[in-house]
Structure 1
Amino acid sequence: MMRSLWSGVSGLQTSQDFMDVVGNNVANVNTVGYKASQINFSDVLAQTLSGATGPQGALGGMNPMQIGLGTQVASTSKNFSQGSLQTTNVTTNLAIQGNGFFIVSPDNGNTYSYTRAGDFTFDAKGNLVTPTGDVVQGWLANNTTHLINTASTIQGINIPQNMTVPAGVTKNVSMSGNLDGGQTVQTSELTAITPSLENSTGAINMNSIYNSNGNLIGVGQTTATAAVGAGSDTVSGLYDINGNQIGSNWTVTVGGTTLTPTPATLSDLANALAPSGTTATITPGGEIQISSTGGTTLPTITSSNPVLNGILSNLSGKTIPAGGTITSLPFFSTPGDTVAMSFDGGANYNTYIYGSGTGGGGTRNSTTGIMSGNVQYFTTLDDLKSDINTDINDNSATPPINNATVTLNSSGEMQIVPTTGSNLSSIGPVYSNNSNLATILGTLSGQVQQTGSTSQPFMADTYSTSVAVYDSLGNKHDVTFNFAKTNYNPSTNHTQWEWYATAPSSGSSTPTLTNASGQITFDSTGKLVGLTPPLAITANWNNGTSQQVVNLHFGDLNTFDGLTQFSLPSQTSSLTQDGYAGGSLQNIIVNQNGVISGMFSNGKSYALGQVSLATFNNNDGLLSEGNSLFEATANSGTPIVTTAGTGTAGTVIPSELEESNVDLGTEFTNMIIAERAYQANARTLSTSDTMLQSLLNIQ
C-alpha cells in the first residue's frame, strides 16, 4: 500500500517539474535568442516480486513479476531550432541564420560565453557589447592593409566611434576619352605649345583658337571678308560691326532736330553731323571722324534705325578736346569677321578685319602716338597682336613714342602694359561680330594700370579637363590637363597633340609641376600610337607636404582603350585617380560573413573587424548561465571557432534579431497535460489513503 503512495508523490513532483519547465518557456516567449526547454521522464526502478523462468520440459516459462515505484525526471534539453528573425534597423543588432553561437567575454578573453542573442551595441570606448557588458569576440582588421587574419586568436571587437583614416596620396591618374580629330591645324603656324601660345617660328591661325571654356572661337568661319564703307556708299546698304544691314527706313535727329532731307550717302551723313567749327571725314577704317580745332561738345545724335543708332552712339553728346577727334563705330560695305578697339577711352576707334588685305591710313596723335581711324587685317593671333601694337605705338617717330608693350603671356592672355612715361590711360569698349572674340578681348577695356590690362586667355585647338589630386595631408588640388592639336604628318597620316598640366595657386603656396607636358600621337584611324615619356608628373605643392609622383595612364599603345582621336567633340569618358582626403567614421555596416565595415566621410569603406562564431558537436551539452548565455561543458565538446558561412556555421543577418522559439500553442497544451497529470497523481494519493483508512478500520 505504501508503494502507491510513494508513486503518487513522485508523480506529483515530476508534474510540478513539468509545469516549471512550461512556465519558464512561457515567461521567455519574448526573450531574444531564447531556446525553449523540454522535459523528459523515466520510471523508477521497479520492485521485483519474482524473476523470469525459462520453459522446462512440459512446463512453460514464466515472465518476471515487478511493481513500479513511480517516475523521475530523466533530462531537460533545449530546442535549438531556428527562431524567427525580427527586423530592427539597428546596425549592431545581429542574428544567426543556421547553426552557431556568438562568442562573448566578460574578462578580456580569459573566459568565454556563447549566445544566440545578438542585441549588441557599442559602449563609450567603442567595444561591441551585450546588454550586460560582455564584449563580443572576433578579429580586428590591420590598420594599414585593412585585412583580417581569421587564423589569429580572437579578441574583443573594438571600433572607436571617433575613428579616422589618413589621406591617400594620389599615385595614378587614368584618362580615357576623345580628342576631336575634325579640327584643322596648319603645321607651319603652330609647332609647339609650352604652354605659351606664341612660338618663335610663326603665329597661331585664328581659326584654330578656342576660348577658356573650350569653345572654338570661330574667327574666319564666315563666307565673306568684311570691307569698310566708302564715302560714296549709300547709307541704307551699309552694315554695322555685327553684320546688321542698316536698310532704307531711317531718320537721324541731331540736337532734337530731325535731318531733312535724309542724307543718302555716308559722306552726306558725316557732314550733316558735324556742327560749326568741326570737320567731318570718313576714315580708312569706315568711321565717321569729327575733328575740332578749338574744342566742341557734340549735340545729342539719335536715329530711328537701331542699327544706325548703335553706330552713331559713340558721337552723341561727346566732347572733342581742342585739336582732338572722335569717331563713330565703323560702317561696313560687306559684313565679316571684325574687331573694333579704342585706345583713348572710346573716343576714336580702329578697325581690324579678318582676312588678307592692305589697310593703314588713320590719324596718329602726335602727343600720345596712338593711331585712330585705322584699318588693319589679320589672319593669325600674332597679326592681331602686331596690329594692336602698331596702333598704340608710333615707332616711326623721332624719337619713337612707345606707349605700351603688347604681348601674349604663357597663359595665352594678351597683355597691354604701359611703358615708362606712357600716355595710354584707358581702353574703350571692345566690339566684334564674334561674341567669343569680343568677350576675350573685352577684359582689356577700362583704366590701364601700370601693371597693364589683360584679356581672357586664347587657347589653340585645346581641350581641357580637370581631376582632383590629393597630397600627403589630404589637401585636394585641381590639376587641369590641356590638350592642343599641333601637327599633322601627311607622309605617315599621324596627328600629334601636345598636352600640359597646370595647377592653380592655393593661398600663399604656388605648386611646381615637373614633367607636366608631352606629346600624344594618333594614326589615321584615331588609334593611340605614340606617347612621349616620362608619363609621370612630379608635384611639389610647396605647402609643407611631401613631394609626390603622379603616374599618368592615357591608354595602351595601338588600342582604343584610352584616348582616341575621332571626328567627334572632345570629351572625357573616364577620369580616375587613386587618392583621397582623410576621413572620419560616419557609419558601419555588417555583411553575412560578420565582417564589420566602416563608412568614412571621404567616401571610402574599409573592413574594421569580423565577428566570430562558435559551433559545438553537441549543443544540448551546453550549460545555461542566464542572461541568454551558455557555457561549454565536457559533454558539449570543445567550441570550434570559425567565421560565419564556413563549415556548419550559419550566416550573420545584420539589423535583425532572432526571436524566442517558444511555441505558445505547444506550451499551453503541455500546461494542460501537466495539470491533469498532477490531478491524477493526487487522486492516487487520495485513493491509497482511503484504502489505508479502510484497513485501519478492520476490527
Structure 2
Amino acid sequence: MSFNIGLSGLYAANKQLDVTGNNIANVATTGFKSSRAEFQDVYSASKLGTGSKAVGSGVRLANVAQQFTQGDINNTGNVLDMGINGSGFFVLNDSGSLSYTRAGTFKVDKEGYVTNTDGSARLQGYGVDANGKIRNGVLTDLRIDTSNLAPKTTTTVSSTINLNSTAGVIDQSIAANRFDPTKQATFTEQFSTPIFDSQGNQHVMDQYMVKTGPNTWDTYTLIDGRNPDGTDPTVVTTPAIPEIPAVPGTPGTPAIPGTPAVMANPAIPSTMTFDSSGKLVSVSTPVSPPTTPPTATLGNDLKITDWKPGTVTDGVWKANGAAANPAGLTIAMGITTQYNADTARSIPAQDGYATGQITSLSIDGSGVLLANFSNYQTKAIGQISLASFTNEQGLQPIGGSSWKESYASGMPGFDSPQSGSLGMIESNALEESNVNLTNELVDLIKGQSNYQANAKTISTQSTIMQTIIQMA
C-alpha cells in the first residue's frame, strides 16, 4: 500500500509542478488567468466505514481552479487594445460559436470588422440606428464604418446675449437712421453665426441689434448679407431726395423737406421687449410672407421659415440647389438680457455641420465606439458587450486566453460595460497576466520538495521490502 501512497504523492506533486510551470510560462500572456492545483486525501472504505484507525490511501488531484483576479492594466497607445477593469468577458463569435476572453488585443479586418489577434473571431456588441442610438439587446458583429458623415442642416441656434441697457436709442423715424447693413451707425451691435444647408454648404447668419426704446430692441437677421429669401435689402427703388433749404433773405420761400430712399426689399425686424429688471418678456416676429394687415408671432425665439440657400456671384444671387430645414430655423433668444454691462454674446451653438471624413476612433468607459470626423462631429458606431457568469470557475479553457461556457459555469448574461456588476472598458490599454511570479517560484520549490519527499517514501518502502526478502 505504501508504494501506491507514494505514487499518488508523486502524481500529485507532478501535477502541481505542471500547473505552476504553466503559470510561469504565461506570465507575459495578455489576459491570462493563473490556475491553482487543489488536492484531496484518499481513504479506502468498506460497507462498515473506515473506522477511527483507518490509514489514508494517499492523495488525488481534486481540481485545477482558475483564479479570475484582476490583472494589471498597462497603456499601449493602440485604441483597439482594451482592458476590462472589473468583472466580465469580451464576447467573440467564430462562425456562430461564442467564446469569451479577457485578452483585449483586437484589430480591424479588411471588411472593417473588429476581430481577435488572429482574425478567427469577431468581437460582439450592439449596433446603432441611423441616428447613432445604441440598439441594445441583440448581439452583432462590431464593424467600424469608415464612410463619410452626411451633412446636417442647421435647425437651431442658441447663445447667451446681454444687450447694454445704457446704449443709445436709434430713432428709426429719421431717414438717416433707418437700418442699412452697410452703415454701422444704423445698428447698435452685430453678431455673426455660421450655419449650414442640407448639402453641408456653410453660410453666415448676421443678426443686427438696434435699440429702439428704453426696453425694446429690433433684430434684423440676414444670411450671406441678404434677406433669408435671397432678396437684397440694400437695393434702392427710389433714391433719397435731400432737403432743399430756404433761400436766405427771400421771404415766402420755405425749405422743401426731402424724402428718404425707398428700398425694394427692406429687412423686416423682430422686436424684443424687456421688463424693468432687464429680463426678456417676448419676441415678436413678423409672419413670413407678410400679411395685410401685418401679423406677428410671440415667443422667446426668432423663427426663420423662408430661408432659401444660395450663392452670390458678381452681385447676382442664385439658389444653390440645397434646402433649409423644412420646419424652419429657430434662433433661441430666451436667455437674452438687458443689463448695464457691455453688449456681448457667448460662443454660439448650432446643430448643423458639413460632411465629414472619419479621422480617429475612441472608446469610452461604457464600451461605446465613437467615430471622430473632420467636421468636429462625433458619432457612436457601436457598443461593446460583456458577458458574465454565475460560476466563472466552471468555464472551460480552450486556449488563446479564451473560454467556453459549460454546464458548471451556467448560461452567460450579456450587457454593456459598467452595467450592474460589469467592469469598465479602458481603451489604449491591455490587462496583463495575473500571475504572481514570486509566488509561483515559491510554489515551484514546494512542488519540487513534495516530489522528492514522495520519492523518498517509495525508496524507503523499497528498502523495507528488500530487508523482508533478505530475511526469507
TM over 0.5: yes
Equivalent residues of 1:170, 1:470 under 8 A apart: yes
- CA distance in structure 2 between the aligned counterparts of 1:136 and 1:599, rounded to whole angstroms: 21
Equivalent residues of 1:483, 1:499 under 8 A apart: yes
Shift, 1:502, TM fit:
3.7
Task: State the one-letter code of the partner of 2:124.
Answer: Q
Task: State the one-letter code of the partner of 1:20.
Answer: D
Equivalent residues of 1:102, 1:116 under 8 A apart: yes
- CA distance in structure 2 between the aligned counterparts of 1:573 and 1:698, rounded to whole angstroms: 107
Matched, 1:519 2:270: yes
1:478 paired residue number:
204
Equivalent residues of 1:501, 1:517 under 8 A apart: no
Give the alignment partner of residue 684 of structure 1, picking from 441, 446, 457.
457
- Which has the higher relative contact order, 1 or 2, with Cα contacts under 8 A spaced 6 or more apart? 2
Give the alignment partner of residue 402 of structure 2, picking from 629, 649, 674.
629
2:336 paired residue number:
562
Query: 1:697 and 1:77, CA in 2 relative to 1: closer, same or farther beyond 3 A?
Result: same
Matched, 1:590 2:363: yes
Matched, 1:536 2:314: no
Aligned residue-pair number = 409
1:173 paired residue number:
157
Matched, 1:183 2:168: yes
- CA distance in structure 2 between the aligned counterparts of 1:22 and 1:570, rounded to whole angstroms: 74
- CA distance in structure 2 between the aligned counterparts of 1:516 and 1:460, rounded to whole angstroms: 13
Equivalent residues of 1:104, 1:137 under 8 A apart: yes
Task: Name which one, 1 or 2, has greater alpha-carbon Rg.
Answer: 1
Equivalent residues of 2:83, 2:102 under 8 A apart: yes
Query: 1:472 and 1:688, CA in 2 relative to 1: closer, same or farther beyond 3 A?
Result: same
Describe the SS at the equivalent of 1:592: coil
1:648-696 C-alpha deviation (Å, 9 max, x unpaired): 2222222222111111222112111211121122222222222222233
1:25 paired residue number:
23
- CA distance in structure 1 between the aligned counterparts of 2:112 and 2:153, rounded to whole angstroms: 28
- CA distance in structure 1 between the aligned counterparts of 2:223 and 2:110, rounded to whole angstroms: 47
1:157 paired residue number:
142
Task: State the one-letter code of the partner of 1:536.
Answer: K
1:35 paired residue number:
33
Equivalent residues of 1:169, 1:580 under 8 A apart: yes
Equivalent residues of 2:162, 2:341 under 8 A apart: yes
- CA distance in structure 2 between the aligned counterparts of 1:115 and 1:632, rounded to whole angstroms: 11
Give the 5 Å matches for 1:435-474.
Answer: 459-474=185-200
- CA distance in structure 2 between the aligned counterparts of 1:32 and 1:623, rounded to whole angstroms: 18
1:286-331 C-alpha deviation (Å, 9 max, x unpaired): xxxxxxxxxxxxxxxxxxxxxxxxxxxxxxxxxxxxxxxxxxxxxx
Give the alignment partner of residue 10 of structure 2, picking from 5, 9, 12.
12
Matched, 1:666 2:439: yes
- CA distance in structure 2 between the aligned counterparts of 1:690 and 1:477, rounded to whole angstroms: 101
Query: 1:66 and 1:476, CA in 2 relative to 1: closer, same or farther beyond 3 A?
Result: same
- CA distance in structure 1 between the aligned counterparts of 2:190 and 2:49, rounded to whole angstroms: 107
Give the alignment partner of residue 499 of structure 1, picking from 201, 216, 220.
220
Query: 1:536 and 1:682, CA in 2 relative to 1: closer, same or farther beyond 3 A?
Result: same
- CA distance in structure 1 between the aligned counterparts of 2:7 and 2:122, rounded to whole angstroms: 46
TM-score by length of 2: 0.78
- CA distance in structure 1 between the aligned counterparts of 2:420 and 2:361, rounded to whole angstroms: 26
Task: State the one-letter code of the partner of 2:17.
Answer: M
Query: 1:104 and 1:516, CA in 2 relative to 1: closer, same or farther beyond 3 A?
Result: farther
- CA distance in structure 1 between the aligned counterparts of 2:187 and 2:267, rounded to whole angstroms: 19
1:382-407 C-alpha deviation (Å, 9 max, x unpaired): xxxxxxxxxxxxxxxxxxxxxxxxxx
- CA distance in structure 2 between the aligned counterparts of 1:45 and 1:135, rounded to whole angstroms: 49
- CA distance in structure 1 between the aligned counterparts of 2:26 and 2:436, rounded to whole angstroms: 11
What is the RMSD of the two structures over their aligned residues, measured on CA atoms?
2.9
2:316 paired residue number:
none
TM-score by length of 1: 0.54
1:92-135 C-alpha deviation (Å, 9 max, x unpaired): 2222222211111111xx11101111122222222222112221
2:292 paired residue number:
none
Q: Which runs of 5+ in 2 are unaligned?
A: 233-264, 288-301, 310-318
Equivalent residues of 1:176, 1:554 under 8 A apart: no
